Amino acid sequence: MRKGKNKESSRVKSKKFEFFYCLFLFINHPVQILQGPVRHLFYLAAGGRLCPAGFIMKRILISGLFSLLLTGIAYGRQTTGGNGFNADSAYAFTARQVAFGPRVPNSPAQLACAAWLGQKLAQYCDTVYRQQVTVTAGDGATSLRCINLVGVINPAATRRILLLAHWDSRPWADRDRKKKKQAIDGADDGASGTAVLLELARVLQNSAPGRGTVGVDILLADVEDYGKDEWQDASYALGTQYWCHNPHVAGYTAEAGILLDMVGGSKARFPMEGFSRQYASPVVDAVWQAAAAAGHSAYFPTEKEGYITDDHVPVNTIRHIPTIDMIHLPRHSETGFPEHWHTHRDNMSVIDKHTLQAVGETLLYYLRHL
Ligand SMILES: [Zn+2]
C-alpha cells in the first residue's frame, strides 16, 4: 500500500487526546486510591459523621485493585483472551508464512504458501474458493500469477461480513538502504493480517457470529504490493481488483468489509483512515466502539488520519461494499508508516503477540455484537 495524495493536508491533529488518555492511565491508580479519603473529607465538610477507619481502608483497597485491573486491561498485557482468540496461534500462522520465503508473484514460495493457505481455510471454513489468474503489473508488460483464496463461513446466512488481507510480500525493499532490489519477508506487511484472519476462522468455525445469522467471508488477496510510486495508484491491489470484478460468487455483496494490513507491529496505532471514513463511516464507528468495549482503545485511538491506497479502495469503489482499513500508522513517522515498512526489517522480530491479540479480540467483539 502507499500513502494517498492528501496525506498531510487531511491529517487531523490528535487534539492531545492520546496524551491525556495516557496521563489518565498513569495517574488513575493514585487517584483511585485517594478518592476514598477525599470523598470522606467532603462528607465531613458537609456535616456528616466520620465513617469507621476500616470502611475507608476497604474503599481504598477495592478502588486500588479496580484501578490496577483497569490499567492492566487498557495495556492489553494478556496474550490469550477469554473469547478464544489465541495470539500464540496467530503468531505461529505468521511465522509459517514467512518460512516459505518472500511470497512474490511467479515464485515457488507463492505456490507453496497458497497451497498451505488453501489447506488452512479448508480446515476452518465451510467452503473455499480459489482463483488463479494472470494479471499485468503496473509497467503494462509483466505478467503476474495471482492466486486469491476465499474461505466462506456459514454460507446459508444472508447477512454477510467480508474480512480481507493481502498475503503476498513486496518484491522490493525500496525503503531500505541496502538490498533494495531483494524481496522482503513481509511478516507485518502481508503475513500478519492473513494470520489474524486464519486464527479468526479457527475460532469462528464452531461459533458463527450473530447466533448463526451472520456469515463471514475471508478473502486472502494476492498481488497487493507489486505497485510502484512512479506507476499509477491502480498498480497496487491487483488481486483485489480482479476479485472485485470477478467475485467468488456472482453478484456477491456484504453489509461491511474490514481490511487488515500491518496488524502485527509492537504498540501499533490504528487511527481512522481517510477512505474508510469517506466510504464506510458507520463501520469505522462500530469497529472502534468494539475496540473500546474489548479494552483495546490504546491501539484504536479515535483519531482521523489521511488517505491510504490499499485493498479497501477497489472494494469500496468497484464492489461498493463499505470497507475500512485497519492499518498501523504511527504518529511520528516520516513515511506515515512503521519504520520497518517496505524494508528488510519487516521480519518476525517486529511481530508482537499483544497487537495480534488486540486486533483479534476487537474483530471477534464486533462480529459477535452485530
Ligand atoms: Zn506494503
pLDDT band of residue 34 (cuts 50, 70, 90) is very low
Within a domain: 139: yes
Q: How far is the CA of 1 from the centre of ligand 1 (A)?
A: 5
Ligand 1 centre to CA of 320 (Å) is: 23
pLDDT > 60? residue 25: no
In the reported structure, the alpha carbon of residue 12 is separated from the centroid of ligand 1 by a whole-number distance in angstroms of: 23
**Pair (320, 183) in one structural domain:** yes
Determine the structural domain holding residue 314 and report its residue range: 82-368
pLDDT(298) > 90:
yes
Indicate if 196 and 51 belong to the same structural domain: no
More confident site: 90 or 232: 90
Q: Which three cell numbers stand for residue 244?
A: 472485485
| Cell of residue 168, nine digits | 503476498
Query: Is residue 232 domain-shared with residue 96, that is, in the same domain?
Result: yes
Strand partners, 127: 152
Tell whether 190 and 217 lie within a shared domain.
yes
Ligand 1 center–CA 133 separation, angstroms: 21
Both 63 and 95 in one domain: the answer is: no
Evaluate whether 259 touches 324 at the Cβ level (below 8 Å): yes
User: What is the rounded average pLDDT of the residues 92-103?
Assistant: 98
Using CA atoms, how far apart are residues 262 and 260, in angstroms rounded to an integer? 7
Which of 29-38, 58-67, 293-302, 361-370 has the least mean pLDDT?
29-38
Same domain, 256 and 235: yes
6 part of a folded domain: no
* Mean pLDDT across the chain: 84
Region 236-251: mean pLDDT is 98
Tell me, yes or no, whether 58 and 97 share the same domain: no
Q: Do residue 140 and residue 70 come from a single domain? A: no
Which of 55-59, 121-125, 296-300, 311-315 shows the lowest mean pLDDT across its residues?
A: 55-59
Ion ligand 1 neighbours (CB, 5 A) are 189, 225
Tally of residues, the chain: 370
Determine, yes or no, domain membership for 11.
no
Question: Where does the pLDDT of residue 3 fall: very low under 50, low under 70, confident under 90, or very high at 90 and above?
Answer: confident
Q: Could you give the number of structural domains in the chain? A: 2
pLDDT at position 210, please?
A: 63
* Residue 9 included in any domain: no
Query: 54 alpha carbon to ligand 1 midpoint, in Å?
Result: 59
Q: Mean pLDDT across the stretch 203-231? A: 88
Q: What is the pLDDT of residue 89?
A: 98
Torsion angle of C-alpha atoms 74, 167, 135, 231, degrees rounded to 10: 50
Pairwise CA distance, residues 209 & 154, whole Å: 9
In a domain, 256, yes or no: yes
Query: Mean per-residue pLDDT for 110-117?
Result: 98
- CA–centroid distance, residue 342 to ligand 1 (Å): 6
In a domain, residue 342? The reply is yes
Query: Looking at the structure, do residues 102 and 242 belong to the same domain, yes or no?
Result: yes
pLDDT at position 271 over 50 = yes
- As a three-state string, the secondary structure of the chain is CEECCCHHHHCCCCCCHHHHHHHHHHHHHHHHHHHHHHHHHHHHHCCCCCCCHHHHHHHHHHHHHHHHHHHHHHCCCCCECCCCCEHHHHHHHHHHHHHCCCCCCCCHHHHHHHHHHHHHHHHHCCEEEEEEEEEECCCCCCEEEEEEEEEEECCCCCEEEEEEEECCCCCCCCCCCCCCCCCCCCHHHHHHHHHHHHHHHHHHCCCCCHHHCEEEEEEEECCCCCCCCCCCHHHCCHHHHHHHHCCCCCCCCCCEEEEEECCCECCCCCCECHHHHHHHHHHHHHHHHHHHHCCCCCCCCCCECCCEECCHHHHHHCCCCCEEEEECCCCCCCCCCCCCCCCCCCCHHHECHHHHHHHHHHHHHHHHCC
The Cα 175–Cα 227 span in angstroms is: 13
* Domain-ending residue, one of 74, 106, 141: 74
Residues of the chain above pLDDT 90, percent = 73
Q: 170: CA distance to ligand 1 center in Å?
A: 6
More confident residue, 9 or 275: 275
Residues 142 and 180 in one domain: yes
Same domain? For 163 and 310 the reply is yes
Residue 264 lies in a domain: yes
Q: Which of 28-42, 88-102, 145-159, 229-243 has the lowest mean pLDDT?
A: 28-42
Ligand 1 centre from 310 Cα, in Å?
9
Within a domain: 190 = yes
Residues 30, 114, single domain; the answer is: no
pLDDT of residue 208: 67
| Tens-digit pLDDT profile for residues 45-67 | 433 333 333 333 343 334 444 44
Q: Percent of the chain scored above 70 by pLDDT?
A: 78
- Predicted local distance difference test score (pLDDT) of residue 211: 59
What is the Å distance from ligand 1's center to 73 Cα?
31
User: 37 C-alpha vs ligand 1 centroid, how far in Å?
Assistant: 54
Name the pTM for this structure. Answer: 0.80
- Ligand 1 centre distance from Cα of residue 77 (Å): 28
CATH of the domain at 144: 3.40.630.10
